[in-house]
Chain A
Amino acid sequence: MITAERKPFEEIYECAKRHKRVLLLGCGTCVTVCMAGGEKEVGILASQIRLAARERGDEITIDEHTITRQCDAEFFDEAITRKAAEVDAIISMGCGVGVQFCSERFPDKIVYPAVNTKFYGATVEQGVWSERCAGCGECIVAAFGGVCPVARCSKSLLNGPCGGSSEGMCEVDPEHTQCAWQLIYDRMEKLGRLDELEEVQPLKDWSHHRDGGPRTIVREDMKL
């Protein structure tokens, strides 16, 4: 999933108080799972803004709504279109994709982001999410026991660990980040495939990554 964290309250409030009536729009997919911008978080943030507005004497009306996915046109139905028409601005609690797609759907409304989008990650335990994929456009994990060195090594090293691997952890964040190369080594050892790690991995073609420019997927067979 795409993971995100809610922005600090004051940053969001600064945007909200510029308008009389604001729609707080949640997203029911990734940001719901990582508890940053789903229906529940919309409710909490809306209450916080109302409370702060009352205390500070600001006049802000907050509308609440959550759609299944902010990154997909089919979920922008009549109900949301009607609600959007009634407000001065939208605060999207969707990821960076959702917030931009909202702007595209409602070209005459200003859309503010309420979350900081982080990474493609997994829920490793309740309340902990960890990065797994960098979206490099050409998956190479098969050569590394299913562990991605591009996303999970701090230096994206493809040929083994640097000197900063210590007791299984990465020196860049020894508290939270496991050394990808320790994981790769352990996994390949378990699989009896350590010899494969002796191959020198050639220079990676980054043109499929963001380095090749913003990317578009076109599936002619799927187009209507």
Chain B
Amino acid sequence: MNATLQKSGSRLEAVLTSGQFAVTAELGPPKSADVDVIRQKAGYLRGVVDAVNITDNQTAIVRMSSIGAGVIALQEGLEPVIQITCRDRNRLAIQSDVLGAYALGMRNILCLSGDHQKFGNHPTSKNVYDLDSIQLVMMLKGMRDDKVFACGDEIRNTKKSPIVEPRVFIGAAANPFGDPFPFRAVRLAKKVKAGADFIQTQCIYDMERFRKWMEQVRARGLHEKVYILAGITPLRSVKMAEYMRDKVAGLTVPDHIIERLNRAENAEEEGQKIAIEQIHELREIPGVSGVHIMAIEAEKTVAALAEKAGLLPRPA
């Protein structure tokens, strides 16, 4: 993966190709047009991470668009990773948004299926799913490398105009904890085949299962073809841990973690300790290229976590 030639102008790509352990964090846009929320969250993350992942109506709750919030993050000196889900837009809307996002300076896009609208605040809405996340990866790779739209047309304004394609670093997600387990590495292989450059995993609590999945990933040689960022969500309470275990399908929280939080005097501090231990463990797993910290609505805690986990300073 020693690509000297960058596929995009992405700083995340530069960090990863240089072989440094990457750190990204999630930044959830506000449920309003409040710009200050983003500026404040950006302030917590500036200098702490290599890129911030801006969610796209996560859990199917309406928020400021990932591209809109991404522009503000960029103004605040952060490099955004724009999430695009397949739930709300068809191939026309997505390609159009990708052109717009690139024009506004976005260089990383993470392709997701998207949470089903049943779980959000508009459960009576219609979904789209014109394409799935793997087809989205394929479409973005076609736009970047073949310089064509999904229909095959060249990305140029007129026949005489220059081709100006969106050169983005393409990400996808992986959930090593969903079923059927043996298919999880296959699905990653398909994402790599489709053109994914980097992968963010679902948050990891069951380290044993994650190690098993990584074994399968390495057996297929996928870790040499794609950068894997392991997902971390620090637990803040026993209630949160139980919620993650019971309410989020395809996510496991082992009993020993819940017991630790239960025994601790301060569950939030213990949750952070666990996260730090996990980061140390993950760094030692061959094929893990970085961590992605999803501190859900707790962006201000990321700096301390990164500091204590020895992830600072970040490369300039």
- Chain A residues engaging chain B, CB cutoff 8 angstroms: 154-168, 171-172, 174, 179, 181-182, 185-186, 194, 197-198, 200-204, 206
Contacts and interface: CB of A to CB of B under 8 A. Distances in A.
B44 interface: no
Q: Which 10 residue pairs of A and B lie closest in terms of their CB atoms, listed nearest first? A: A171-B249, A163-B175, A159-B134, A163-B250, A160-B187, A157-B132, A166-B249, A164-B249, A163-B178, A185-B180
Given A161-B178, A163-B202, A185-B183, A155 B249 contact: no
Nearest to A161: B178
Given A202-B138, A203-B139, A203-B150, A161 B249 contact: no
Interface in B153-177: 173, 175, 177
A163 B175 CA distance: 6
Interface string B175-215: 10111101100110110011000000010000000000000
Contacts of A185: 180, 182-183
Given A164-B178, A164-B250, A200 B194 contact: yes
A162 B190 contact: no
Interface of B: 86-87, 91, 113-114, 116, 118, 127, 129-135, 138-139, 150, 173, 175, 177-180, 182-183, 186-187, 189-190, 193-194, 202, 249-251
Contact of A166 (B187, B194, B250): B250
Contacts of A159: 132-135, 187, 190
B116 A174 contact: no
A160 B183 contact: yes
Given A165-B179, A182-B179, A203-B150, A160 B134 contact: yes
B201 to A, nearest CB: 10
The A interface, classified by DSSP as helix, strand, loop or mixed, is loop
B127 A165 contact: no
A155 B135 contact: no
Contacts of B190: 159-160, 198, 200
A160 B114 CA distance: 14
Given A181-B183, A198-B186, A158 B135 contact: yes
B166 to A, nearest CB: 18
A185 B178 CA distance: 13
A159 to B, nearest CB: 4
A157 B179 contact: no
Contacts of A172: 116, 118
Contacts of A163: 173, 175, 177-178, 202, 249-251
Contacts of B173: 163
8 contacts: A157-B132, A163-B202, A164-B178, A165-B178, A166-B249, A181-B183, A198-B189, A203-B130
Contacts of A171: 116, 249-250
Given A160-B134, A162-B250, A201-B135, 8 more contacts: A156-B132, A159-B133, A160-B186, A164-B250, A172-B116, A181-B183, A197-B186, A202-B135
Given A158-B135, A159-B134, A200-B194, A164 B116 contact: yes
A158 B132 contact: yes
Contacts of B113: 155, 157, 162
A160 B175 CA distance: 12
Nearest to B189: A198
